[in-house]
C-alpha cells in the first residue's frame, strides 16, 4: 500500500514572539488542509513532532490537538531530538500502512525562544552521552567541530569548503519567504565571522528558530480520490548509532545516515544518482559535506570538492538545500523534518518559485539527523 502526501502547510521560521506553539501549529495546519481540500472531520488522527523540554508546556500533543479542533480523535508525540519531525512522518506512515488510519495530519512544531541560550546549549549538550561526554561540557558545535577537524585531517577539507556550503544555503535562503535569514553572504564574510569551536565559525552554524510545518498523509485510494497531485513516500529508512561518539567507527561520517539511506534507496528501487533534489541536515556546514558522502552523492572524502565544483547547486549533480537548509531557514528542531519533506513535495509538484525550482524533479530525498547522529531518517519521495 502506498502512502501519499496530499496536503502541505508551512509557516514562517524565526523569532516568533507573535505566536504560541499552538498558534504556530495552526498556521501550518490550516494551510495544509486548505491545500488538500479537506476538512478537520476528514482527519483520523494527528502525530506531533516536538521536543517538549524546550517548552514551558508539557504533554505538548494534547494542547496542539485541542487548539487545532481535532479532539476527541487520537494524537501522540514523537521525540528523537532534531529528527522528531521525521519520526512523526514515519509513525503516521506506519499507522496508514497498518490499516489503522486513512488520513493523518503530521505537525512538526517548536518554540525555541521560550528559554535562554545557555539553557538551550545545556539541553543540546545532553543529547550526547551524559555519563562520559556531556559532563565534560560538550556542546553541539563542539561535537561537530571534532567531525570537521577529522575530515580536514583525513581528506584535506578546508575552511573554504565549509564556507561554500554557507554561501550556497544563504543564496537560496534569500529566495525563501519562510526562511529566518534572507540575505546572501560572501565566502569572505563567512571566513571572517567569529570562531565558535575550531574550525567552525558563526556562519558554519545554524540558528535556533520558532516555527511549524504540516503534512497531510493518506492511503493510496484516498490520496488518488482527493488529490490530483499526490507525492508518494516511496522509500523510508531509519537507523541509529551509539550515543557516544567515542564508540563510533570514525568521525568523518554518520553510520546511521549510511544505513538509513541504504534502506530508503532499496525500498524505493532507486540509487543516489536518481535523486534530483535533496534536503539534508546541515546543522553545521560540515554536516552537509558529510551528508553528500553518506548519501552516496559523492565518494567518501570528496564532499569538499563536491561543493567547490557547485555540484549541489541547481544545475549540478543534485540540488541540495535549495530552501536555505537549516543554515539559512532556521532550525525549530521539532519542525525541521516535516519542513524538509514539505520542501521536497513542493519541488516535485513544481510549486516552488522559479528562482529556486529544480527543473524536471521527479525524485527527491530528505535526510534528517537527531542528536549527533544517534538517529537518522532518510525518505525518498516520488511524483508520477
SS3 75: strand
Cα 263 to Cα 272, 342, 379: the distances in Å are 12, 21, 9
Instruction: Determine whether 238 is an active site residue.
Output: no
Q: Which three cell numbers stand for residue 279?
A: 534536503
353 three-class SS: coil
Q: Measure CA 24 to chain center.
A: 17
- How would DSSP label each residue in 231-249? EEEEEEEEEE--SSGGGSS
C-alpha span between 211 and 221 (Å, rounded): 32
C-alpha cell at 201: 565559525
Supply φ then ψ for residue 271, to 5 degrees: -130, 175
Closest to 374 (Cα-Cα) out of 133, 130, 129: 129
> Are 88 and 236 a contacting pair, CB within 8 Å?
no
Please pick, among 178, 331, 342, 376, the residue that the annotation labels catalytic. Answer: 331
Bridge partners of residue 278, in order along the sequence: 320, 365
Residue 376 CA to residue 80 CA, distance in Å, equals 9
Give yes or no: 214 in active site.
no
DSSP string covering 279-304, please? EE--SBHHHHHHHHHHTTSS-TT-HH
d(CA 103, CA 105): 7
Q: ∠ at Cα 335 (117, 91), nearest 5°?
A: 130
Of 10, 45, 55, 82, catalytic:
82
294 CB-near residues (< 8 Å, 6+ apart): 253, 254, 257, 258, 261, 367
Residues with catalytic annotation? 82, 331
Amino acid at each position: 500500500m502506498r502512502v501519499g502526501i496530499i496536503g502541505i502547510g508551512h509557516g514562517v521560521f524565526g523569532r516568533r514572539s507573535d505566536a504560541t506553539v499552538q498558534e504556530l501549529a495552526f498556521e501550518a495546519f490550516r494551510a495544509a488542509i486548505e491545500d488538500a481540500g479537506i476538512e478537520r472531520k476528514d482527519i483520523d488522527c494527528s502525530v506531533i513532532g516536538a521536543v517538549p523540554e524546550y517548552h514551558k508546556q508539557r504533554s505538548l500533543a494534547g494542547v496542539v490537538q485541542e487548539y487545532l479542533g481535532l479532539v476527541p480523535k487520537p494524537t501522540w508525540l514523537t521525540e528523537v531530538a532534531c529528527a522528531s519531525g521525521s519520526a512523526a512522518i514515519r509513525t503516521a506512515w506506519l499507522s496508514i500502512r497498518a490499516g489503522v488510519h486513512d488520513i493523518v495530519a503530521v505537525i512538526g512544531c517548536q518554540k525555541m525562544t521560550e528559554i535562554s541560550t545557555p539553557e538551550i546549549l545545556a539541553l543540546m549538550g545532553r543529547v550526547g552521552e551524559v555519563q562520559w561526554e556531556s559532563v565534560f561540557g560538550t556542546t553541539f558545535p563542539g561535537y561537530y567541530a571534532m567531525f570537521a577537524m577529522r575530515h580536514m585531517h583525513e581528506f584535506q577539507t578546508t575552511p573554504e569548503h565549509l564556507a561554500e556550503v554557507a554561501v550556497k544555503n544563504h543564496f537560496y535562503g534569500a529566495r525563501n519567504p519562510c526562511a529566518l535569514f534572507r540575505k546572501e553572504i560572501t565566502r569572505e564574510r563567512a571566513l571572517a565571522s567569529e570562531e565558535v569551536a575550531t574550525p567552525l565559525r558563526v556562519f558554519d552554524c545554524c540558528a535556533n528558530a520558532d516555527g511549524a510545518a504540516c503534512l497531510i498523509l493518506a492511503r493510496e485510494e484516498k490520496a488518488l480520490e482527493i488529490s490530483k497531485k499526490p507525492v508518494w513516500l516511496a522509500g523510508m529508512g531509519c537507523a541509529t548509532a551509539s550515543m557516544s561518539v567515542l564508540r563510533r567507527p570514525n568521525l568523518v561520517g554518520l553510520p546511521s545516515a549510511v544505513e538509513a539511506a541504504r534502506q530508503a534507496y532499496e525500498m524505493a528501487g532507486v540509487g543516489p544518482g536518481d535523486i534530483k533534489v535533496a534536503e539534508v541536515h546541515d546543522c553545521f556546514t560540515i554536516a552537509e559535506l558529510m551528508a553528500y558522502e553518506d548519501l552516496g552523492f559523492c565518494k567518501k572524502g570528496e564532499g569538499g570538492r563536491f561543493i567547490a565544483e557547485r555540484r549541489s547547486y541547481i544545475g549540478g549533480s543534485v540540488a541540495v538545500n535549495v530552501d536555505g537548509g537549516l543554515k539559512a531557514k532556521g532550525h525549530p528542531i521539532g519542525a525541521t523534518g516535516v519542513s524538509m519533506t514539505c520542501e521536497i513535495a513542493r519541488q516535485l509538484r513544481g510549486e516552488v518559485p522559479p528562482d529556486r525550482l529544480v527543473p524536471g524533479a521527479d525524485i527527491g530525498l530528505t535526510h534528517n539527523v537527531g542528536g549527533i547522529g544517534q538517529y537518522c531518517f532518510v525518505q525518498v519521495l516520488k511524483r508520477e
